[in-house]
Structure 1
Amino acid sequence: MRFKKKVGVFTPLPGPSVRHFLTGEEFSSGEIARLLEEAEILRQSRTADNSKPLAGKTVALIFEKPSLRTRLSFTVGVQEMGGHIVELAGNQKKSEDPEDAIRVLQGMVHGVMIRTFTHETVERMAHQSQIPIINGLTDSHHPCQALADLLTLRQRFGRLRGLNLAYIGDGNNVLHSLLLMSPAAGVNVQFSCPPGYQPDAQILRRAQTRAEQHGTKISILPHAAAAAEGAHALYTDVAISMGFESEMEQRRTAFKDYQINLQLLGRARPDCIVMHCLPMNKGEEITQEVVDHPRAVLFQQAENRLHAQKALMRSLFTAKSNIRSLRREALNSERSAL
């Protein structure tokens, strides 16, 4: 008697309860707090940590924009957690609809990080995706940077609730993510941008609603000096970034009074730190003296991209996302290293 071979129906690699990290709004205040605590544990136990939560998993890293910190931090993070990466550069793949691309990817990998141009691209992918997608940067949002920034603030001050973060400069994707995520973590945001370079109005309204829900404040101030008053952190970004080279002189004129220098730092609190997401144009949005200042944490922020994103990937790509199990793994790793 002959039996017909039973053919299984293909299903994507993870289960149906997929989560994405596109703007940071997907995570509650409690979840952000847990991610930051996990990131700090991962940082402190890095040299002794032998756990491999991404063992047997492959993560696709898609770069349609150039990258240093994002490429390094995600590549090292996946490898340290035992996973594999497939890197796809914009000039190495054919152009196709985001919906089609993700349906190909989800049959082969367990998660995606994408660094691209329009935010609509990641939204279209997420709408069809049955695997987690992490936004590594779009023109509208940079939530991974904001997560690392919150970790840096937590390390420097031992808390987040009640801190005042002052952003000075272009109302860009970095400011958008700080506005959407910081208030949910307990941080007040005060910002000053030149006329014509304010953050997106719709994103600002969403951020203000979120701040009201968490008892925090977002303040729009008329000039840099006002924003610096009472600040625990001064934050800036380049005014002339990728895609705006043709506006160089126009932007240079508009941003001439929005530089973080020693004079502006003197208006902030005595323990105020200086932050920048990098890369920077020294002598424009920030001076060399401030970059070299003892309270500048620019490169601590850069390192924290690694730790924050490891916690994020652990949360999205695995079932191992609770503080107790992470502490237990860290303790076991320390004991085995003795």
Structure 2
Amino acid sequence: MVVSAGSDFLEFHDLSADVVTAVLERAGELGEAWREQRMPQSLEGRRVALIVDDGGWRNTTAFDLGIQAMGGICTHVPASLGGREAIADLAGYLDNWFDMIVVRTPELASLRELAANARAPVINARTRSNHPCETLGDLAYLRAKRGGINGLKIAGVAPDANILRSWVEASISLPIEVVQVYPDDWHVSDPALLNPNFRLSTDMRELEDADVIFTDSWPSGVAEGEVADYRISAEVLDRCRPDAVFIPCPPVVRSQEVTADAMTHAACQSTAAKAFLLHAQNALMEWIAARPELNASR
């Protein structure tokens, strides 16, 4: 099997806007199929390696479940990208047996090295630097709820970390506006991410006309007084648009980035949004599996 560049999903903007649109639309269709228990067997015969190198459970469980539901074979591989085996060697061994490799690992650089050496497509199931599948799932939910994503204003009340970075990656290739609302010390400064669809702010009033608001955990070791003004409460959400969608990123720490009453506010749609993580990942794998270069030798 010879695979050309472009089959990996390591950063959100690896996918063009047209591909994202198609994947999000398909995610909606697969969501319907899931609810009606009529999943297409579009991964039949595909052998997928699942490497979980740093804990977590939501999206890796969804990968395992989705692969099986669409007829594929999922094997949990107890390997590590920071282990004794050289990553280039590990890529070769995985290529012997697998058609696709899904990895949750701390370092994006290690994932890039794996993808550079593997023939099989590599999917980023989360790194400390980014979490593109999480953003893909949230966008699939927003498309299903609103009918489209073009022109959305998305406010991230979050530090420079993997959740925010994936939304910024999405703003590179999609017609959306992403604004980080947080103290200056935690603003994104990576020149590779700065783009015309992304901007920085310290003003919580940015939330009042946002279509979507998301959060992430407070920075490790921060004094509460430094970020307390950026805590999302029901009072904050009451000042926002009546149709605003609030998606706090799990695991949520009540009394830190959110209050308990924010989690029961009508705007909070985290549970419903995270259901689409399964559907979006399924649509992504289906799109990758259908690439002509992956089928040349099958």
TM-score under structure 1 length normalisation: 0.80
Residues 241-262 of structure 1: CA deviation (Å, up to 9, x unaligned): xxx4xx2xx2534321111112
Partner letter of residue 33 of structure 2?
S
Which residues in structure 2 correspond to 1:266-285 (within 5 Å)? Answer: 266-285=238-257
Cα deviations across residues 1-32 of structure 1 (Å, max 9, x unaligned)? xxxxxxxxxxxxx3333510000121111110
2:19 is aligned with what amino acid? E
Q: Output aligned runs, 1:33-48, within 5 Å.
A: 33-46=21-34, 47-48=36-37
Q: How many residues align?
A: 290
1:309 aligns with 2:297: no
Equivalent residue for 2:295? Answer: none
- Cα distance in 2, alignment partners of residues 50 and 228 from structure 1: 38
The residue type equivalent to 1:77 in the other structure is: G
* Structure 1 residue 52 displacement after superposition: 1.1
Q: Compute the displacement of 1:279 (Å).
A: 1.0
Q: Paired residue for 1:104, among 80, 93, 110? A: 93
Q: How does 1:86-235 map to 2 (within 5 A)?
A: 86-89=75-78, 94-182=83-171, 184-205=173-194, 208=195, 212=196, 217-223=197-203, 225-235=204-214
Name structure 2 gaps, 5 residues minimum.
293-298
| TM-aligned CA distance change 1:107 to 1:138, over 3 Å | same
Match of 1:83 in 2: 72
1: CA distance, partners of 2:92 / 2:226: 44
User: Could you tell me whether the CA contact under 8 Å between 2:234 and 2:265 is conserved in 1?
Assistant: no
| Between 251-260 and 298-307, the greater mean CA deviation after superposition | 251-260
Show the counterpart of 1:239: 218
SS of aligned partner of 1:106: helix
Q: Tell me: CA distance 1:285–1:203, structure 2 relative to 1, closer, same or farther (3 Å).
A: farther
How far apart are 1:318 and its partner, in Å?
A: 3.2
CA distance in 2, matches of 1:86, 1:23: 24
| Runs of 5+ consecutive residues of structure 1 not aligned to the other structure | 1-13, 321-338
- Partner Cα separation in structure 1 for residue 144 and residue 39 of structure 2: 24
| Distance of 1:251 and 1:84 partners within structure 2 | 47
Question: Judging changes above 3 Å, is the alpha-carbon distance between structure 1 residues 264 and 149 closer, same or farther for their aligned structure 2 residues?
Answer: same
**Whole-angstrom distance in 2 between the partners of 1:180 and 1:149:** 14
Percent identity of equivalent pairs: 26
C-alpha change, 1:77 and 1:219, in structure 2 (3 Å) is same
The answer to whether the 8 A contact 1:277-1:301 is kept is no
Checking the alignment, whether the CA contact within 8 Å between 1:54 and 1:83 is kept in structure 2 is: yes
Task: Give 1:204 deviation, angstroms.
Answer: 2.7
Deviation at 1:226, TM superposition (A): 2.7
* Corresponding position: 1:256 with 2:228: yes
Instruction: Verify the 8 A CA contact 1:190 1:221 in the aligned structure 2.
Output: yes
Provide the residue aligned with 2:4 in structure 1. 17
Aligned-residue RMSD, C-alpha:
2.0
User: Secondary structure, in 3 states, of the residue corresponding to 2:97?
Assistant: coil
Higher-Rg structure is: 1
Q: Is the 8 A contact 1:55 1:81 kept in 2?
A: yes
Contact kept, 8 Å, 1:234 with 1:265, in 2: the verdict is no
Distance in 2 (CA, whole Å) between partners of 1:109 and 1:87 is: 12
Q: What SS does structure 1 have at the residue aligned with 2:277?
A: helix
